[in-house]
Amino acid sequence: MIKKLLTVALFVGISATNTNAQSKLTVDKVYSAYLRNSGAIIEQGQIKGYFYLIQSDKIDRKTNEYTLQIVDENLNKVQDIKFEDTKKLSLLESAYNGGSLAFLFKNEEEKLLQMKVYDLDGKLKFTYSRPYTKKTDALMAQYETLHTDEGMNQTVFNLGDKGYISVLPLRDGREQTYEVDMYSSEKKKQWTYVPDGDDQKFAQAEYLGATDSLVILEVIRKNRRMSGSGTAHLVGINPMTKKKVFDIDDEKDKWTFVPSSVLPVPGSGKFVAMGNYFDKDANIAKDASKGLAIYEIDNKGNILNKTYNSWAVDIAKHLPTNTKGKIDNIGYLYIHKMIPTPDGKFFIVGEGYKKQASAGGIALTALGAMSGSYGNAGVTKVVVTDLVVMEFDGGYKMKDARIYDKTNNTVIGGPMSDYVSQHLLAMYIKMTGSFDYEFTTGNPEENNFVICYSDWVRSSDYKGETFNSIRYNGTKFTQDKIELKSKASRMRVLPAKSGSVMIIEYFKKDKRLECRLEKLG
């Protein structure tokens, strides 16, 4: 889909000094627009501007010139930042915290990971460098394989005016764990948190979110590398004291809770965690969940409230769902976004994915068996299906659900789709940026928001990419879409000011990048 088309680093977030509005920007002499990272940065729910990083020249056989160009929300140029560096420089990820920009680079020539922090005038404030070793090979492999140019941020996130956080996987022989790095954007200061203890030797961590005083992670731990499915933990780390505040597991619970999303509740000293819940003796990597759980937790790790919505009873009232959590024609549901509104409601945006028989894979497997050879074709494939928007009341019980049809999109084939569990498949699809959900904009605190997703249409009137929006105005949902046809080599759509989207096109032959604002509907 659209996120698979553009490999350009572009972000939202800078106020303009030029107030003359325009709707199109052209950049010439773009030698490449492939540096890894893409996304949207919004300050307090509002679009403030854009920036993109490109290779703007070739200095010599070993050196390139790079340009970081900053524009405002109307595409007026604000700042150009040019620098020279090795041609073996890769931008892994970027982040914005309202007052600065941060970039995580891999310098292959010097074997360094470099975090560079810029102020909003384009001045380099700090450079944090660390060598990458065998322990970070897992991170390098992730970016070279699973984390594609179109993927979402996986390791670098903003912490408001405190700076930035990164969550890196570490591997040392058969042991696998993680570390959390904090980078200040106010003064040159960096620290690292590494979990200790024998129970941390086989641990995988995923960043879920942050509050004013916490970084919140989902951590899956095993006693040994291949021992069972592991145990799920919700871990809170204070980025200023460098200490773990809480480690919530399910030892005393009736169910096993596996969190997948958190939402801070501003001014309340608490946050909401949502995820699947399982039978106590279930294998969380393979077995079906019982439903969706929502926990209210304070910043000290005390669980204030637990609410369960079972597939078989609660959710089945609104969606055609079986006891194993599969929805008819949709499959399993991956949760993208939690959206609270001022009237006490919660809206949850999910997207379906499921395994299907692969006709081509079955045929190749059969031919291989007949000839006495056995290949790796695989007999199934994984497809991303429809979008689902669920409504929950103030007590976190499900009240309604809407299904938005879209064309099934094949994202995985081969042996992986045959043997990997549905939960690991969802993590893979997210990591590679293969879901069709794009982003949510608007002002939920004013009871309006817009959910955006991509699709591929095959009809008698139109065949090709479309960009779709689902708008909620406090009482009802309406839909819009834009048909995308272009001669560009690559294209991407990002959020823009109210009622619009930002479309970026890269014309490789002409070495030209074009950005334009286009109104939805």
Question: Which of 137-151, 241-255, 309-323, 447-461 has the lowest average pLDDT?
Answer: 137-151
pLDDT interval class at 15 (50, 70, 90): very low
Identify the pLDDT of residue 138: 57
d(CA 10, CA 515): 11
Identify the pLDDT of residue 45: 59
pLDDT interval class at 416 (50, 70, 90): low
d(CA 371, CA 358): 20
Give the model confidence (pLDDT) of 400-415 as tens digits.
999 999 999 887 665 5
Q: Is the pLDDT of residue 467 over 50?
A: yes
- Judge contact between 392 and 375, C-beta under 8 A: no
Of residues 230 and 41, more confidently modeled: 230
pLDDT interval class at 139 (50, 70, 90): low
Percent share of the chain, pLDDT over 70: 79
Q: Which two tokens stand for residue 373?
A: 């050879």
Question: Which of 90-104, 235-249, 361-375 has the lowest average pLDDT?
Answer: 361-375
Highest mean pLDDT among 60-64, 112-116, 125-129, 147-151: 125-129
Furthest-apart CA atoms within the chain: distance in Å: 70
* Strand partners for 417: none
Average pLDDT over residues 243-259: 87
Average pLDDT over residues 339-345: 91
d(CA 204, CA 222): 9
Q: Is the pLDDT of residue 423 over 60?
A: yes
Which residues touch 226 (CB under 8 Å, ≥6 apart)?
A: none
Of residues 33 and 347, more confidently modeled: 347
* Strand partners for 67: 54, 82
d(CA 380, CA 360): 9
- With vertex at residue 436, the alpha carbon angle to CA 149 and CA 5, rounded to the nearest 5 degrees, is 35
Question: Which of 86-90, 385-389, 460-464, 473-477 has the lowest average pLDDT?
Answer: 86-90
Identify the pLDDT of residue 380: 72
Average pLDDT over residues 114-139: 80
Which residues touch 267 (CB under 8 Å, ≥6 apart)?
A: none
Q: Is the pLDDT of residue 365 over 60?
A: no
pLDDT interval class at 128 (50, 70, 90): very high
Identify the pLDDT of residue 397: 95
Q: Is the pLDDT of residue 366 over 60?
A: no
Q: What is the DSSP string of 110-140?
A: TTEEEEEEEETTS-EEEEEEEE--GGGHHHH
Which residues touch 145 (CB under 8 Å, ≥6 apart)?
A: none
Identify the pLDDT of residue 446: 86
Q: Hunting for tokens 């990002």 — which residue is that? A: 494
Of residues 257 and 96, more confidently modeled: 257
Identify the pLDDT of residue 198: 61
The end-to-end CA distance of the chain, in Å, is 20
Identify the pLDDT of residue 351: 92
- Judge contact between 91 and 153, C-beta under 8 A: no
- With vertex at residue 190, the alpha carbon angle to CA 98 and CA 198, rounded to the nearest 5 degrees, is 120
Which residues touch 184 (CB under 8 Å, ≥6 apart)?
A: 126, 162, 163, 190
Which residues touch 153 (CB under 8 Å, ≥6 apart)?
A: 37, 39, 93, 94, 95
Identify the pLDDT of residue 67: 81
Q: Hunting for tokens 């010599």 — which residue is that? A: 60
Q: Is the pLDDT of residue 372 over 60?
A: no
Write down the mean pLDDT value for the chain. Answer: 78
Provide the 10 A C-beta neighbour count for residue 379. Answer: 20
Q: What is the DSSP string of 449-517?
A: EEEEEEEEEESSS-EEEEEEEEEE-SS-EEEEEEEE----SEEEEEE-STTEEEEEEEETTTTEEEEEE
d(CA 145, CA 214): 31
Give the model confidence (pLDDT) of 57-108 as tens digits.
889 988 988 887 777 888 888 778 888 888 887 777 777 787 888 888 888 8
Of residues 232 and 11, more confidently modeled: 232
Which residues touch 335 (CB under 8 Å, ≥6 apart)?
A: 260, 261, 274, 275, 292, 348, 349, 350
Q: Which secondary-structure segment (H or E) carries 444?
A: none
Q: Buried b vs exposed e over 102-132: b needs ≥16 C-beta within 10 Å?
A: bbbbbbeeeeebbbbbbebebeebbebeeeb
- Burial of residue 179 (number of CB atoms within 10 Å: 0-12, 13-18, 19+): middle
Q: Which two tokens stand for residue 107?
A: 């310098």
Identify the pLDDT of residue 373: 44
pLDDT interval class at 518 (50, 70, 90): confident
d(CA 118, CA 124): 4
3-class DSSP assignment, residue 5: coil
Percent share of the chain, pLDDT over 90: 22
Average pLDDT over residues 368-391: 68
Give the model confidence (pLDDT) of 303-322 as tens digits.
999 999 999 999 999 999 88
d(CA 493, CA 39): 10
pLDDT interval class at 46 (50, 70, 90): low
